[in-house]
Structure 1
Amino acid sequence: MSAYVVFTRERTIDPAQMDQYRQKAPAARGGRDITPLAFYGRLEVLEGAPIEGAVVLQFPSMEAAREWYRSPAYQAALPHRLRGADYRVFLIEGVDGNGPDEANATASAHPTSS
């Protein structure tokens, strides 16, 4: 089942660090099956605090997304992002072909921690 890594950039702190991140992060792709679905395109915040930008990356599975995030190449880029901006990043599993009713039942059975 597909999984998605979602990045929301809340605030840029150090543009030079973000430049370093942008130079290093592409190496983490490393032949992996990653599909960018949104990449800092035009956005509109409908609820909550404003954000500067967002990225949505699709992976074949939760494990594939975790492997990418934990890869040495991404871990080499990560400190630059952490120093360069405030982000919220999360991994979410997609729904299979059974639709949102099953997804809602699964979510109810496994609530997120608060």
Structure 2
Amino acid sequence: MSTFIVFTRESTQDQEALDTYMNLVGPTLEGHTVNVLSSYGALETLEGEEPEGAVIVEFPTKAAARAWYDSPAYQQVVQYRFKGAKYRALMVDGN
């Protein structure tokens, strides 16, 4: 069963740190089976407050999603995202 991680950027705090994250995050996906379904495409908010942007990535399993998210490579890079912006990150099982 596929698992999706949905990231919504709620507000930018430090553009330089966020730019660093954006430049470094791609290589952390190498070696992982992942499909980037959407990355900051046009969005339309149907309910709630509109985020600045959203990213949706698909992994083949929950274990695969956790393997990437918990990997040393991503954990080193994610610190720039934490500093750069307020995000919401959700892991959702597919059907």
TM-score range, shorter chain: over 0.9
Partner of 1:87: 87
Q: CA RMSD in A?
A: 0.7
- Unmatched runs of 5 consecutive residues or more in structure 1: 96-114
Partner of 2:60: 60
Q: How far 1:67 moved relative to its partner?
A: 0.6
Q: Which amino acid aligns with 1:77?
A: V
Taking structure 2 as the reference length, the TM-score comes to 0.97
Q: Which amino acid aligns with 2:11?
A: R
CA distance in 1, matches of 2:27, 2:51: 26
- Unmatched runs of 5 consecutive residues or more in structure 2: none
Partner of 1:71: 71
CA distance in 1, matches of 2:51, 2:69: 22
For residues 65-85 of structure 1, what are the alpha-carbon distances to aligned partners after superposition, in whole Å with 9 as ceiling and x for unaligned? 001000011001111000000
Q: Choose between structure 1 and 2: higher helix proportion.
A: 1
Partner of 1:44: 44
Partner of 1:108: none
Q: How many positions carry a matched residue from both structures?
A: 95
Q: How far 1:31 moved relative to its partner?
A: 1.8
Q: Choose between structure 1 and 2: higher strand proportion.
A: 2
Considering Cα pairs closer than 8 Å and 6+ residues apart, tell me whether 1 or 2 has the greater RCO: 2
CA distance in 1, matches of 2:76, 2:30: 13
Same amino acid, percent of matched pairs = 44
Q: Which protein has the larger Cα radius of gyration, Structure 1 or Structure 2?
A: 1
CA distance in 1, matches of 2:69, 2:52: 22
